[in-house]
């Protein structure tokens, strides 16, 4: 209401003073013709076309995206997505399947089954994909009653008491934190889970996670959609991150990151980007929530993603398909193009009719067309944002 008042008050002032009052007063002519021109000025300057068609275009874009399984939480996020030129990915569950499998077991002073059972018990109460894969590999399943005092250490692993022994299961940073020494001779590719019991190193388990089949094509589509830079952030070791990055064709990667390190890295990337471009972060885990909130556009995987990530995100991909990111950007950019088309068309017609009306060459019917007719045309143009089938075809390999 306040914005409409700001627009209407100057319009009334222009129509009543310069158009309806000053020319008859200065020239000494009749008031009827100039009052008629003032009324034409008022009708033409009505902002219906802009007020209705612009938000309707954004609603159409949001509706078209939702038909493709892309939930956008507002028109401002759709606009921000259209201006995105840097896309940052979390690795696990986003670019990769997130379904880990135990591929190698290297025990030390234990048998393979004993090491796997010790790790499975320590990880029993965790829902992390890595923990679930270790539990799935351990058959028969051990008795969870043997586990007490479980403590998750963010970004590193877990600590638990198993059969009275203090067991650690996690990455190398967890071993360093508790000063557990070992020789790192493993050359197998994958995520390495180190296990220690009562302060002594017990061995490690290698877990592999494969990239999603559509991930490479998704990154190629992003480049085609105008994304200038793709980045991967992961807590995995450098060799794993390097192999995945090379396989998918990412521009850069940063490995060995804790959740807090990811936020710091996002801050660095935001500081390095251009002022008018946006940065999007794509993730699915509970540890990704702070990064999703900090990015200009947060994109969450909705099918397997955590509730915290979905809540913090601005855009949610309901089927976890990274190829939908490029589709969402195409929808956003076409929606913004339709908005600009409506603005330029409406203002051009209105300014032309205002000029014709001021010199007496426009009738009231011309004014009605400049108001209602332009509004109808702009609304029909806005409905184009609802249809996204042509964009889906473009996003497919």
232 has a pLDDT exceeding 90 = yes
Q: Confirm if 49 and 378 have CB atoms less than 8 A apart.
A: yes
Structure letter (DSSP) for residue 211:
B
Token digits of residue 290: 């702070």
Q: How confident is the model at residue 161 (pLDDT cuts 50, 70, 90)?
A: very high
Per the listing, tokens 């627009």 go with 7
* pTM, full prediction: 0.73
Q: What percent of the chain has pLDDT over 90?
A: 33
C-alpha–C-alpha distance, residues 82 and 324, integer Å:
14
* Choice between 354 and 304, residue whose per-residue pLDDT is larger: 354
Token digits of residue 296: 């200009």
Q: What is the pLDDT of residue 23?
A: 55
Structure letter (DSSP) for residue 176:
H
Q: What is the pLDDT of residues 259-289, one digit of tens each?
A: 888 899 999 999 988 888 899 999 887 778 8
The residues annotated as belonging to the active site are 90
Listed residue (264, 260, 255) closest to 234, CA to CA: 255
H helices present in 68-128, as ranges:
75-82, 112-122
Token digits of residue 221: 């589509």
Dihedral angle computed from the Cα positions of residues 221, 222, 223 and 228, in that order, rounded to the nearest 10 degrees = 180
- 3-state SS class at 306: coil
226 has a pLDDT exceeding 50 = yes
Listed residue (385, 337, 333) closest to 56, CA to CA: 385
């Amino acid at each position: 209401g306040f914005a409409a008042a700001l627009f209407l008050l100057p319009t009334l002032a222009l129509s009543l003073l310069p158009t309806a009052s000053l020319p008859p007063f200065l020239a000494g002519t009749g008031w009827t013709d100039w009052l008629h021109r003032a009324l034409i000025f008022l009708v033409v300057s009505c902002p219906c076309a802009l007020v209705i068609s612009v938000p309707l275009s954004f609603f159409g874009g949001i509706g078209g995206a939702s038909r493709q399984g892309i939930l956008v939480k507002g028109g401002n996020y759709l606009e921000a997505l259209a201006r995105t030129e840097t896309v940052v990915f979390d690795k696990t569950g986003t670019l990769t399947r997130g379904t880990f499998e135990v591929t190698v077991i290297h025990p030390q002073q234990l048998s393979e089954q004993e090491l796997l059972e010790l790790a499975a018990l320590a990880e029993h109460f965790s829902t992390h994909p890595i923990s679930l894969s270790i539990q799935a590999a351990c058959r028969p399943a051990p008795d969870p009653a043997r586990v007490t005092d479980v403590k998750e250490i963010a970004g590193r692993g877990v600590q638990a008491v198993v059969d009275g022994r203090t067991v650690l299961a996690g990455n190398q940073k967890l071993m360093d934190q508790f000063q557990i020494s070992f020789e790192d001779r493993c050359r197998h590719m994958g995520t390495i889970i180190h296990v220690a019991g009562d302060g002594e190193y017990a061995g490690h388990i290698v877990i592999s996670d494969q990239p999603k089949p559509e991930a490479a094509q998704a990154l190629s589509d992003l480049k085609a959609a105008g994304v200038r830079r793709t980045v991967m952030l992961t807590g995995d070791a450098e060799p794993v991150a390097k192999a995945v990055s090379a396989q998918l064709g990412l521009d850069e990667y940063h490995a060995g990151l804790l959740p807090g390190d990811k936020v710091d890295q996002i801050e660095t990337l935001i500081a390095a980007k251009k002022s008018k471009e946006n940065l999007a972060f794509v993730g699915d885990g509970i540890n990704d929530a702070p990064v999703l909130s900090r990015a200009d556009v947060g994109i969450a995987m909705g099918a397997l993603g955590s509730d915290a990530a979905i809540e913090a995100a601005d855009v949610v991909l309901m089927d976890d398909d990274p190829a939908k990111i490029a589709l969402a950007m195409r929808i956003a950019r076409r929606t913004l193009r339709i908005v600009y088309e409506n603005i330029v068309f409406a203002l051009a017609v209105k300014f032309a009719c205002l000029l014709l009306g001021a010199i007496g060459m426009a009738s009231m019917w011309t004014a009605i067309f400049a108001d209602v007719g332009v509004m109808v045309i702009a609304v029909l143009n806005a409905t184009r944002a609802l249809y996204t089938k042509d964009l889906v075809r473009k996003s497919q390999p």
